Structures are given as C-alpha cells and as structure tokens.
Structure 1
C-alpha cells in the first residue's frame, strides 16, 4: 500500500453538484450509497493514478479509485485535468464529521500500489512550478481557477489527471 499524506481544505462545492447528478451510477459502481459531496485534500506530494484501473462515470469525464482512510473505505474522485496534488474523497458519509476533521487537519490516504502511476518529467515540472511553489496562493485562494494565465500554463504543460 502507498500512503499519501495531505491537509483537509474547504472546497468550492462543485463536486457536490456533479456527484449528486451521478448518484445512481456511483452507487452501482461503488456498491455503496455515497454521500453527495466530497472531502478535499491537498497532498504533500503529487499523485498520478492509473486511469486504466479507475471506474469511469459521467460519460467518461470522471473517475473514481478505491482507497482507505484509517479503517474506512473511500473513493478518490477526479476528472480529466485534476491537479496531481489535489484529491477529492467520496464516502458513504460526510467524512469530516465521521472522522472529526476540520480544515487544516492532516490525514493519510492508503492506495493500492498498482493504482499509483509514475510521474513523467512534465508531470513533475508542472506539479513543482504550478502547485509546489504556489500552493498557498493557487489552491487555498478561492479564485484560483479563474486565473487564466495559470490555466494556460497548466494546459501547455499537460498538467493534471488524464
């Protein structure tokens, strides 16, 4: 098992809408009735997941992978272009409440080694330049996705889950 550590942060509630619209599909895939929202985690190091081992939903636009936080089974939720240092976690309950977590809490996510993909040089470079050096400004700042120059750089480098 690979362990990835990170910090719990507030999201922008975009996953709540996407997950809510796909609840039937996600229940079939996961075998669970998932909570219609996610817990956002900014990882200490980039994580690229093997797309071939994901469960794909929403017409191929979104993916989930099985993982664990403590003894609880969870699902890592991503879409094409999700930065490698960010994961959204789905579960059958509101995880912050169930685990007694607050924004800023540190957590460990256990992932099967086979699900972790190697980072190529572009992945490492983009993660370092965009997310490593500017994490506080880019992710913890609510308007980060609207920063057009950041998006142009990310697209040029091919940054994010594919």
Structure 2
C-alpha cells in the first residue's frame, strides 16, 4: 500500500519520545536511527493496524516497518495520534537523502496488513476535527492540536 503525505516541520519532540528505546529501534531498522523524525501529513485519515505494530515504552508507542524511497523507515505513532499524522524514523536524514523540503510530497510504502479500516464514524469525527486543518497539527502554537487530539482519542478518530 502506498500513501502520500506532505513533508512539514515538526515540533522537535520526537527525539525525547524515542530516546526510551534506541536498541529496539536500531534492531527494527537494521541500523541506528538518526535523531528526530520526518513529519508527514496526509489529506485523509489512515488507521494503522495495532496488531502488526512493534510496541515499546510499555506499549505506549508503536512503530510499523515501511519504506520511503530506498530507505527503510519505521512509521511512528502514539495513542491519540491524529490519523493523518505520520512520523518517520530512519537510519538516514530523509530530507537530505531524498532532497525534501517542507511542502514536498513523499510516498511511503506500507505492507497492506499494516493498514486497518477507518470506520464511517471515525471518518466523520476526523473530518470535523481535522478535515480542513490537516497541516495545523505541527504549525499551531495554540491549544487546538491538543484539544483535537484528546477529542479524537475519546471519539475513536485517532490511533
């Protein structure tokens, strides 16, 4: 399965979140990951299958093996992650390796079993919370992303 997302600048939090499992991430990637992640937002929701996830940090964080270009990556999500947000962990700095800048599109190749169905009700909730604001998750300095993430979690429209 291929999904396409837009590259965007992050908030600089991934390095802290991922510091709890450097050996596991290296084992799953086949090489040490670079600091930080590449952030992608899609224009529609995608739920990843928790049954195929690699879990760490006492089951609070999840990754799924995938590919971006020729690079192996781990798609990183956490409980409450909006369904259009993808953070890619890689052994190379993907922006440099693939010549990416904010606003560029990138295709990620996920095995079909890594995707799960997004229910009709989750689509509706996602559309109300994020439909016209997909890029706002990383750009907003206000409280909207945290509020929408919490509502999405409670209403079944988040990872």
| Fold match (TM-score > 0.5) | yes
* TM-score normalised over the length of structure 1: 0.88
Distance 1:155 1:66, change over 3 A: closer
Q: Is 1:129–2:132 an aligned residue pair?
A: no
Specify the alignment match of 2:152 in structure 1. Answer: 154
Q: Is 1:52–2:85 an aligned residue pair?
A: no
Specify the alignment match of 2:33 in structure 1. Answer: 34
More displaced, 73-82 or 16-25?
A: 16-25
String of CA shifts for 1:98-154, please: whole Å, max 9, x gaps: 111000011111111111101112221122111112225x3253325x236534532
Q: Is 1:70–2:95 an aligned residue pair?
A: no
* TM-score normalised over the length of structure 2: 0.90
The partner residue of 2:140 within 134, 137, 142 is 142
* Residue 159 (structure 1) shift: 2.2
RMSD: 1.8
Alpha carbons 1:12, 1:142 under 8 Å: kept = no
Alpha carbons 2:43, 2:134 under 8 Å: kept = no
Unaligned runs of 5+ in 2: none
Specify the alignment match of 2:80 in structure 1. Answer: 81
Specify the alignment match of 1:106 in structure 2. Answer: 105
> How many residues align structurally?
158
Q: Is 1:19–2:44 an aligned residue pair?
A: no
Unaligned runs of 5+ in 1: none
